[in-house]
Amino acid sequence: MKKKVLILGSGGREHALAWSFANDDNVSNVYCAPGNGGTAEIAENIAINLANLQEILRLAQEKKIDLTVVGPENPLASGIVDLFRNEGQRIFGPDKYGAQLESSKLFARNLMAEKNISQPSFYSCNTREEVEALKEILELPLVLKADGLAAGKGVMVCETNDEFEQALKTIFDDGEFGKAANRISLERCLVGEELSVFAVCDGENFKILNTAQDHKRAYDDDKGPNTGGMGAYSPTPLSTPELIEMVGDEIIQPTLEGMKDRGHPYTGFLYVGLMIVDGDPFVIEFNVRLGDPETQVVLPLLKSSLFKLLWDATEGNLKKSKVVVSSETAVTVVLAADGYPGKYKKGMIIKGLDSVRDRLVFHAGTLQKDHDIITNGGRILNAVGFGKDLQSAIEDAYKIVDLIDFSGKYYRKDIGKRGMQYLKKGDIND
């Protein structure tokens, strides 16, 4: 019997999930709550407040959903999986306890320390005085992290005294992160190349989907403020089969063992953010969900059924599952509204979407209004290009970008450039 799937969330990541399920022979219906202008075309959008877990449960029961897949971290950190499981409603994701791998940086750091997983040295601090005293001993550069969820803004890399003072002000004087900064993880700053590994876990076993590299800064050459992500490519040239095996054996497997030891076997996506230093991977962070925009390049390269993989994971049956990945490279360029991640306008009509009907364009901040698709957020669309190598995938993605237009269209022109430099010189630090 074909299954009904409900996806929670409204970004490009959720459109990519919906696309994957809509093209899956195992799936009869795809619902997206709340979804966006793109998911409206391939799934049924249902307006809902993701903070209201009871309402989501009611919706899943009413629609007789067979599998619910959670996009963003907040419902997981609030315990949506615990609620669904208590009601016998199948959902893919970690319970509230397991979601602490993302919702508490120090929970994750302590678990990694217990399991001897490579990570930067870290210190748990409760007060400004502790942070200042440690700085005198450790010296800059250091990284200050609010322990709790801070909408992706709680990490401050401090290379200079000014940056360190500014971080202290943000945390302790302005109280910008509220309770999320009741504890601080003070960490050694690692210097190297970043890449992320995406895995599906069933409590005991895991399967790696692929690797990807995000582009977090707003402007070209990694300048400007941090954003949710302005583009990504998959796989990354840094990810050799040896490295992937090392990440599986020395990071993911011991993490699953640590969660099992604690009485909460970890089921869900695991996003492992790594810094590669002299060829060795160190964990910068865990996330308990897929990345956005990384999902928009990871899922199109997956040739086997995502639905089946997630279903098997909820059955604790991943060991026998197969993951087949294309040998191509995918690149996504985010089309954003001018001003993002600061102030920007909404409601602009998007033109040119019809001319790219045969191409993959995932929507993020869009809304269907009458016969138009209009902008409704900071990150608006994700153009996805493919190629036999990174260079041709970059060219392919920018061809799509050129065919789409709206007032205030902004995008980075250098997505994939660091990867190309690495390929050319064997070194990205030019």
- Give the residues lining the site for ligand GLY (CB under 6 A): 214, 228-229, 287, 291-292, 294
The option from ligand GLY, ligand AMP, none interacting with 194 (CB < 5 to 8 A, set by class) reads ligand AMP
**Closest to ligand GLY by CB, 229 or 365:** 229
- The minimum distance between CB 365 and ligand GLY, in angstroms, equals 15
- The minimum distance between CB 41 and ligand GLY, in angstroms, equals 24
- The minimum distance between CB 186 and ligand AMP, in angstroms, equals 10
- The minimum distance between CB 364 and ligand GLY, in angstroms, equals 12
The C-alpha atoms of residue 333 and residue 331 are separated, in whole angstroms, by 7
The option from ligand AMP, ligand GLY, none interacting with 291 (CB < 5 to 8 A, set by class) reads ligand GLY
Q: At what angle do helices 161-168 and 128-138 cross, to 10 degrees?
A: 160
- The minimum distance between CB 223 and ligand AMP, in angstroms, equals 14
Contact 37, 373 (CB under 8 A): yes
The C-alpha atoms of residue 206 and residue 253 are separated, in whole angstroms, by 8
| φ, ψ (nearest 5 deg) of residue 90 | -70, 130
The option from ligand GLY, ligand AMP, none interacting with 229 (CB < 5 to 8 A, set by class) reads ligand GLY
**Closest to ligand GLY by CB, 66 or 214:** 214
**Closest to ligand GLY by CB, 273 or 387:** 273
For residue 77, give the nearest of 286, 275, 255 by alpha carbon.
286
- The minimum distance between CB 196 and ligand GLY, in angstroms, equals 8
**Closest to ligand GLY by CB, 75 or 291:** 291
**Closest to ligand GLY by CB, 95 or 292:** 292
CB-based contacts of 14: which residues, under 8 Å, 6+ apart?
7, 8, 32, 35, 36, 39, 71
DSSP strand pairing (27-34 vs 3-9): parallel
**Closest to ligand GLY by CB, 193 or 214:** 214
For residue 382, give the nearest of 301, 294, 289 by alpha carbon.
294
Strands (E), 203-256: 206-214, 217-219, 223-226, 231-234
The option from ligand GLY, ligand AMP, none interacting with 187 (CB < 5 to 8 A, set by class) reads ligand AMP
- The minimum distance between CB 273 and ligand AMP, in angstroms, equals 6
**Closest to ligand AMP by CB, 79 or 273:** 273
The C-alpha atoms of residue 184 and residue 369 are separated, in whole angstroms, by 44
Q: Is 287 left (phi over 0), alpha (psi -120 to 50) or beta?
A: beta
Contact 354, 371 (CB under 8 A): no
Binding site for ligand AMP (CB under 6 A): 120, 143, 152, 155, 157, 187, 189-190, 194, 273, 275, 284-285
